[in-house]
Amino acid sequence: MPHTPQYSGLLTDLYELTMAAGYLETGFDARATFELFVRSLPPRRNYLAAAGLDQALDFLEGVSFSGDEIAYLRTLPVFQAIGDNFFDYLARFRFSGDVWAMPEGTVFFPGEPILRVTAPVIEAQIAETPLLAAINFQTMIASKAARVTQAAAGKNVIEFGTRRAHGTEAGVLAARAAMIGGCLGTSNVAAGKQFGIHVYGTQAHSWIMAHEDEEEAFRKFLDVFPDQAVLLVDTYDVHAAVEKIIAMGRKPRGIRLDSGDFAADSKWARKRLDQAGWKDVIIFASGDLEEDRIAQLLAEGSPIDGFGVGTALVNSIDSPSLGVIYKLVEIEYRGAVRSAAKFSREKVTYPGKKQVYRFHRPDGQFESDIIGLEDERFQHAEKLLQPVMTGGKRCLPRTNLFEARDRCRKQVLQLPEQLRHLTSELESSPVSHSEQLEHSLSEARRRLQAAARI
Amino acid sequence: MPHTPQYSGLLTDLYELTMAAGYLETGFDARATFELFVRSLPPRRNYLAAAGLDQALDFLEGVSFSGDEIAYLRTLPVFQAIGDNFFDYLARFRFSGDVWAMPEGTVFFPGEPILRVTAPVIEAQIAETPLLAAINFQTMIASKAARVTQAAAGKNVIEFGTRRAHGTEAGVLAARAAMIGGCLGTSNVAAGKQFGIHVYGTQAHSWIMAHEDEEEAFRKFLDVFPDQAVLLVDTYDVHAAVEKIIAMGRKPRGIRLDSGDFAADSKWARKRLDQAGWKDVIIFASGDLEEDRIAQLLAEGSPIDGFGVGTALVNSIDSPSLGVIYKLVEIEYRGAVRSAAKFSREKVTYPGKKQVYRFHRPDGQFESDIIGLEDERFQHAEKLLQPVMTGGKRCLPRTNLFEARDRCRKQVLQLPEQLRHLTSELESSPVSHSEQLEHSLSEARRRLQAAARI
């Protein structure tokens, strides 16, 4: 069964293609601008960290429809009345638009566009679903990782979640996003090779259980990895295992706790390892960890040097969906430019091409953001959106993940305490809209009410 | 940047490879049996539906290490003391083991192995992470889909979640798993082509907003899709939109509500469409739907013909992790067979190669399951695990998704009311262990306590 090619145009919702046929057949050759943003913060989040841009741009650079894929589309009932013109168009299809985006690792807030696409309306439409899938997922994971690493307060956090990821590709992408959010590395070897992320890991319970005797299992692993062995000590009994290692007199690089009372066991183990003269043997903990438990363990003075975080991280388990959306904000059709807005109940989409202006206090601390139109001028403001693709080609290098991680760490540290807080949710937003943008919204509302005759 | 090949041996946790090197370097050429199961039900679940087997077997049939990948492994600090022998082994690496599994769509319970691998220990070990990633994810989604479609009580459910999936591959796999769990189809076109799943979708808010006038937007879409158009009516005002369509006098295939009060709007729209003589125009609803809201809408008598379910389904949002694990249960080394078990605190792993025996009442209803050893005999029991791979090659055809969906639907319907209940959690398990298995566990406990000297 042939796998879907990575940049197949079919990796989208069917309605993007029916609308594409609709735009083409009715001659609606408009140029559209869509913005990608989050309407509101998910539970327990005061800030988000942008991630997934490289994969989004990879898709835009690579997307096409093969002959085989077009033959499949021709078989669909919805396209039975559609002529060759549309399928010929798909055969030539490439993304030719412009993209502005926040660099990966940027801390952002609801309402702020993190990516903006301007392209022929069909191209912008077909790109919607894969763009959202790329950015929604990695942004959710990077934002979770920022919380987890913040809780770890300088101790190392390794992403351990591949087995609980949404398939193998999701495992690799989760490792990437986790690094942007602050993780030191991952257990996922493919992510190590593909993205240059540091990889970690030593032995599982099965290694211990496969041997008749726990001491033999430790000894054999030390034989093979004399300088690298981090020994797993909770298969049967943590105290007995640590005593066996000390009695062998062969110093491992570290020990790993994967269950039990991490606070008590790490304190006891640290004391015994120190008594044995092994002050540099690290204690690593894994197993159902997340930011709350890590913060609690450290508050209790647990001498744990590093944390492996899996399921909770790669599924953002306390807040497992994000809600990034992609909304039409401007349309240019036959020379006329019209901004688009939406007002259904509490969902307001501001019209026009926007920019996010960030203000810092003199000491470098984050002060506030203003969402404005792209050509506004504010003194001392940093513009968060920058051009990343022109005419379908990247105009900036790919993300350096080490730089993206530094950016995220630095920006989180610049946030005031109330915004960085891990458990109390913020009452007021640090984001406002510019006067010009509010004015555009009022104008769009008047025009749309007239046009919709409601 | 080269993408990781789909069946790369690097799509695993690093510790699988360090253990592999350890087994090879110490000459531990054992044959191991691992079983894949769930220890306990996640919140709000009384049963689970197995899915992901085809992708798991695809990986086992295809897994290998390229020269490039091996060159990368040689650069890792952990492998600096490892000689050519291990890397030569990886260059020849293929999975040669045997696999037993439950057919996809099978309803199962905690403790029951849903897949069992018997292979040279290194092969079984390297397979752990990708097997878990494949089966944990799809099983979680199929189990959620079974709940959602059960709540829909015969109304159609379409999977709409690609944009909120964990990347594009996860979107395709979620569509597959959702179909096994009972969905009629998906919006994901690639899933349609790759797996033969029916695809659905018509227009988004952007189609309406791109046009100056809502009526013009409807009319143009009807021009292009005269028989297929399902018109989105909530962009500005549902009542005004439906009245416009009726006033145009051009019957669409259906209308879609994507926000607002679905119960009130669907009742009002049904009445107006019927008055217009359009009794066959369907009403479709989407937007933040899950099983509870669907059940409530139907309980309120909402005349909705189909539901699009996205975010909540593809992230199993009320219960966003599953916890499928892969445990060593038997090891054969130099002619001696030894069963493996684990007893750390409340986590007991039963030893030996197992089978799941299912019992039905005379009327066909599900009665109970017994987890026993593989060679036990029970009268009138259905054996749920069957051989699916021998010597690294599939010995059964790939899953027919229509059959898997039928299997799942039938088995859910066979469950007693308390097990099928969507909101009240079960107090007692319908699963027990055979006497032989309990006896094996006691023996393993005695032997392990002696071996671990604890």
Interchain pair B235, A448: CB under 8 A: no
| pLDDT tens-place string over residues A41-59 | 999 999 999 999 999 999 9
B163 secondary structure, DSSP code = G
Chain B nearest C-alpha distance from A378 (Å)? 31
CA separation, residue A210 to residues A206, A216, B235, B440 (Å): 6, 10, 61, 17
Please give the mean pLDDT across all residues of chain A. Answer: 95
| pLDDT tens-place string over residues B273-287 | 999 999 999 999 999
Say which CATH number the domain at A421 has.
3.20.140.10
Determine the residue type at A424.
S
Residue B202's pLDDT is 87
**Of B134, B60, B125, which Cα lies nearest the Cα of B95?**
B60
| pLDDT tens-place string over residues A241-299 | 999 999 999 999 999 999 999 999 999 999 999 999 999 999 999 999 999 999 999 99
Distance, CA of A11 to CA of A56 (rounded, Å): 12
What are the backbone dihedrals phi and psi of residue B312, each rounded to the nearest 5 degrees, phi first?
Answer: -65, -30
Cβ-based contacts of A202 with chain B (< 8 Å): 14-15, 18, 78
Chain B nearest C-alpha distance from A9 (Å)? 8
Residue A446's pLDDT is 86
- Interface confidence, given as ipTM, is 0.97
What are the backbone dihedrals phi and psi of residue B432, each rounded to the nearest 5 degrees, phi first?
Answer: -135, 170
Cβ-based contacts of A210 with chain B (< 8 Å): 23, 28, 30, 32, 121, 328, 331, 340
What are the backbone dihedrals phi and psi of residue A278, each rounded to the nearest 5 degrees, phi first?
Answer: -105, 60
* Among candidate residues B314, B332, B358, the one where a domain is terminated: B314
The number of CA neighbours under 13 Å toward the Cβ of B406 is 5
- Place A448 in a pLDDT band, splitting at 50, 70 and 90: confident
Chain B nearest C-alpha distance from A133 (Å)? 4
Interchain pair A206, B451: CB under 8 A: no
Interchain pair B193, A4: CB under 8 A: yes
B9 found inside a domain: no
- Do B295 and B325 belong to one domain? no
- Do A266 and A366 belong to one domain? no
| pLDDT tens-place string over residues B231-257 | 999 998 999 999 999 999 999 999 999
- Do B84 and B202 belong to one domain? no
Q: Beta strand pairing status for A185-186 and A156-159?
A: parallel
- Place B423 in a pLDDT band, splitting at 50, 70 and 90: confident
- Do A184 and A283 belong to one domain? yes
- Between B15, B226, B328, which is nearest A202 by CB? B15
A182 found inside a domain: yes
- Between A164, A174, A321, which is nearest B317 by CB? A321
Distance, CA of A131 to CA of A138 (rounded, Å): 11
Residue A344's pLDDT is 65
- 10 Å CB burial of residue A115 (0-12, 13-18, 19+) is buried
- Between A21, A137, A203, which is nearest B167 by CB? A137
Residue B453's pLDDT is 57
* Among candidate residues A314, A334, A365, the one where a domain is terminated: A314
At A329, which helix (H) or strand (E)? strand A324-333
A2 found inside a domain: no
- Do B426 and B374 belong to one domain? yes
Interchain pair B129, A10: CB under 8 A: no
Domain ranges, residue B283: 151-314
Cβ-based contacts of B199 with chain A (< 8 Å): 14, 76
- Do B157 and B295 belong to one domain? yes
| pLDDT tens-place string over residues B373-393 | 999 999 999 999 999 999 999
Residue B389's pLDDT is 98
Interchain pair B167, A133: CB under 8 A: yes
- Do B77 and B155 belong to one domain? no
Interchain pair B19, A206: CB under 8 A: yes
Q: What is the pTM of this model?
A: 0.97
- Place A345 in a pLDDT band, splitting at 50, 70 and 90: low
Residue B346's pLDDT is 66
Contact pairs from chain A to chain B, CB under 8 Å: 380
Residue A348's pLDDT is 84
| pLDDT tens-place string over residues B355-369 | 999 999 999 999 999
Interchain pair B25, A327: CB under 8 A: no
Place of tokens 């001659």: A27
- 10 Å CB burial of residue A277 (0-12, 13-18, 19+) is exposed
- Do A118 and A184 belong to one domain? no
* β-sheet bridge partners, residue A158: A185, A308
φ/ψ region of B221 (left if φ > 0, alpha if ψ in -120 to 50, else beta) reads: alpha
B408 found inside a domain: yes
- Do B301 and B328 belong to one domain? no
Mean pLDDT of the region B301-319: 98
B340 found inside a domain: yes
- Do A352 and A222 belong to one domain? no
Interchain pair A452, B201: CB under 8 A: no
Please state which of the ranges A264-268, B172-176, B277-281, B444-448 shows the lowest mean pLDDT: B444-448
- The contacts of residue A98 (CB under 8 Å, 6+ apart) are A117, A118, A119, A387, A389, A390, A391
Residue B448's pLDDT is 73
- Do A134 and A247 belong to one domain? no
- Between B453 and A239, the more confident residue is A239
- Between B3, B4, B22, which is nearest A224 by CB? B22
- The contacts of residue B51 (CB under 8 Å, 6+ apart) are B104, B105, B135, B138, B139, B141, B142, B176, B177, B180, B181, B404
A7 found inside a domain: no
CA separation, residue B149 to residues A245, A360, B143, B263, B294 (Å): 54, 50, 10, 18, 9
A281 found inside a domain: yes
Residue A290's pLDDT is 98
- Between B34, B173, B454, which is nearest A236 by CB? B454
Residue B424's pLDDT is 82
* Among candidate residues B314, B338, B366, the one where a domain is terminated: B314
- Place B212 in a pLDDT band, splitting at 50, 70 and 90: confident
Length of chain B: 454
Give the count of domains, chain B. Answer: 2
A414 found inside a domain: yes
Distance, CA of B18 to CA of B13 (rounded, Å): 9
> Is the model's pLDDT at A37 over the cut of 60?
yes
- Do B177 and B310 belong to one domain? yes
Asked if B161 and B93 touch (Cβ cutoff 8 Å), the reply is no
- Between B23, B125, B168, which is nearest A130 by CB? B168
**Least CA distance to B59: which residue of chain A?**
A168
Say which CATH number the domain at B198 has.
3.20.20.70
Interchain pair B209, A12: CB under 8 A: no
